[in-house]
Structure 1
Amino acid sequence: MASAIGSGVPGQRTGRSSTTGSALEKTLRITEALTAFGGPHRLAELSAATGVPKSSTYRILASLVEQGYAVTDGDGSYGVGLRLRTLAAEVSTDRPEGIVELLEFLQKCTGQAVHLALRSGNALTYVRKIEGTQSYRTSSRVGLRIPLHATAIGKAVLAHLPPEEAEAVLRATGMPAVTRRTRTDREVLAEELRTVRARGHAVDDEEFEPSVRCLGMPVFDRQGVPVGGVSLSALTFLTTREELERFAPALLQAARGVERLLQRGG
């Protein structure tokens, strides 16, 4: 069967010996081939299209997967990874569309609902939502204002605010129970925020919506102040906390990409 990524791949050098070219050049050719129409692509296709021997192609792909630039289904096919999508979005001429593209790709990588929320005074407002792949839907919606103390994005923001500002927010809003699992004790929340700072992400375990568990990471402005965040939302009866937290690296990549796009527009 003819490869869908044949002679049209920008990185291919017709007539070049398969054994020539620096390691960097080979990596760039394979990276370009990953983005060709018709993916994901088989190892043999990528090797043939780039002129790089299969053994070298495999080693380069393994490194790209490890670094997040490529993904594999474990069955010999390779596609574009979230980190490469992030870089592509950053050079987009349409900043909002670049952000949406990142959020959509995060959803495809995880299968979970994705939210982007920005801080508005003492609360957060959902500005983007990408539904998950499950038939079940959460009640969240664009435009909904959510509390900081009871949500994953909110706790991620609180954890990185100056202590006096975080304290002022909690004094102004209180810590009302949204569900029976909402944190309402100031000391318990303070201990959790220390954990959030240490591990880099926050978890909302049915604290804002019953049967919904969320993983959140902050998004910062140019001065390092948290202005919002990105989250993944999963149904507790379909996804365990451990399974959700395995998506933390992908969420981090998406959050940093959104952050850079927002900073460019600021």
Structure 2
Amino acid sequence: MSERLIQSVERAADILELFLVTKPELSIKEISENLNLSKSTVHGIIKTLEHRGYLQQNPEDSKYRPGIKLFELGNFVGKHLDIGKVARPFIRELVDELNETVHLVSLQRDEVIYIEKVEGHSTLTIYSHIGKRAPFHSTGVGKSILAYLNENEANRILSSIKLESFTKHTMTNVEDIKEQLHSIREQGYAVDDEEIELGLKCIAAPIFNHQGNVIASISCAAPKMRLDENKLPKVIAGIKKAAAEISICLGYKGKHLIE
């Protein structure tokens, strides 16, 4: 495999990736020193990348920075990534590990929609199915997304949706919900403790895209009696890890979600 790699393309990639770990602007000398390449080699590659729009030169100090073409490509990749396809192997791995039902939901406009559902080997009939809307206030997936939206956006949604009571445990007071959202942000996951269906408990964590925006959530749903003090820590760790790994695959570069 290695003998088929083209050295000039490898070096061009090294130069572009250098901006991810150093400074937003770099001189030819700085690039040369960081990559241990001659200035003449760096100059030739940079001029090619500049010509194609992948780099642009600051006329004030002659340093180079990422160009608009990289921005266009990044946006294209972000928009066309299939969240379900990216998440599917992580979901299957989680189901095998936990032997419980795992959901993936996507934020679409002002709705949270179930887009993937893989059931564990234990039979369990629960509220969800693919294509169904998940209430923001009474599901783990809904709350984990709501908690990480812009505060104004979260307030707008809370003021516009019907805070319907599904069980005696459903939270319908806006201030109580906001307090819980704060706790979710602190711990990195949300809990639905019989709020959408009696006897059902869910643990959910948010998924972020390359722009750092919350766009989805993954959850594990099981009978409350099975999520006891012995299994619950494993479920929480598994859900947070899967959410982090999916986010990274979508280009997320923010704080690691499983810390």
TM-score bucket (shorter structure): 0.5 to 0.7
**Aligned equivalents of 2:162 and 2:114: distance in 1?**
21
Q: 1:121 aligns with which of 105, 109, 116?
A: 109
Instruction: Give the match for residue 210 of structure 1.
Output: 198
User: How large is the Cα RMSD of the aligned pairs?
Assistant: 2.2
Q: Which amino acid letter does the alignment assign opposite residue 223 of structure 1?
A: Q
Instruction: Give the match for residue 148 of structure 1.
Output: 136
SS at match of 1:254: helix
| Aligned 8 A contact 1:219 1:230 in 2 | yes
Deviations 1:39-96 (A, max 9, x none): xxxxxxxxxxxxxxxxxxxxxxxxxxxxxxxxxxxxxxxxxxxxxxxxxxxxxxx985
Q: Which sections of structure 1, spanning at least 5 residues, go unmatched?
A: 1-93
| Aligned 8 A contact 1:157 1:227 in 2 | yes
Q: Which sections of structure 2, spanning at least 5 residues, go unmatched?
A: 1-81, 253-259
Instruction: Give the match for residue 163 of structure 1.
Output: 151
TM-score by length of 2: 0.61
The structural deviation recorded for 1:208 is 1.1
Q: 1:227 aligns with which of 194, 197, 215?
A: 215
Instruction: Give the match for residue 196 of structure 1.
Output: 184
**Aligned equivalents of 2:169 and 2:108: distance in 1?**
24
The structural deviation recorded for 1:136 is 2.6
* Cα 1:198/1:261, change in 2 over 3 Å: same
* Cα 1:211/1:225, change in 2 over 3 Å: same
The structural deviation recorded for 1:242 is 6.4
Instruction: Give the match for residue 91 of structure 2.
Output: 103
* Cα 1:95/1:211, change in 2 over 3 Å: closer
The structural deviation recorded for 1:225 is 1.3
Q: 1:184 aligns with which of 172, 186, 194?
A: 172
Deviations 1:129-167 (A, max 9, x none): 010221233231111111111110111111111111100
The structural deviation recorded for 1:197 is 0.7
1:1-266 map, 5 Å: 96-240=84-228, 243-263=231-251
Deviations 1:221-243 (A, max 9, x none): 22211111000001113323663
| Aligned 8 A contact 1:122 1:148 in 2 | no
Higher Rg of the two aligned structures: 2
| Aligned 8 A contact 1:179 1:206 in 2 | yes
Q: How many residues align?
A: 172
Q: Which amino acid letter does the alignment assign opposite residue 113 of structure 1?
A: T
The structural deviation recorded for 1:99 is 2.3
- Identity in percent: 29
Deviations 1:177-232 (A, max 9, x none): 12221110111111111111111100000111221100000011222111110000
TM-score by length of 1: 0.60
**Aligned equivalents of 1:178 and 1:152: distance in 2?**
14
| Aligned 8 A contact 2:210 2:250 in 1 | no
**Aligned equivalents of 1:172 and 1:152: distance in 2?**
19
**Aligned equivalents of 1:148 and 1:234: distance in 2?**
19
